[in-house]
Amino acid sequence: MSARSTRREAREGIVKSFMDSLDRIIPPEESMALRGKTFLDWERQADATRQAVLPTLLQERAALDEAAQVGDGQCGRCPRCGSDRDNLR
């Protein structure tokens, strides 16, 4: 079975996610003001970027790996302990 996505598609999806987040922090148009005045504001913007981009990165990476695929109704296994139990913390 082949991967669910090509490397090019995966990279394009990740780059698009990052660029969308970057455009919110540093708009490409010079006429648009930068948001935030304090370092804390900028940290929060960076955290929002992390929250937007990392799930996309992991999803795209998993789509490239045949071993990452899980059948319908099955849970994946923990990479650390091998357990198939759900942890809904």
- Which of the listed ranges 2-6, 17-21, 67-71 does the model predict with the highest average pLDDT? 17-21
Between CA 38 and CA 21 the distance in angstroms is 19
Residue 74, burial from CB neighbour count under 10 angstroms (0-12, 13-18, 19+): exposed
pLDDT at 1: 42
Query: By three-state DSSP, how is residue 31 classified?
Result: coil
pLDDT digits (tens, 9 = 90+) for 45-83: 999 999 999 999 988 998 888 777 666 666 666 766 777
CA atoms within 13 A on the CB side of 9: 9
Q: Structure pTM?
A: 0.69
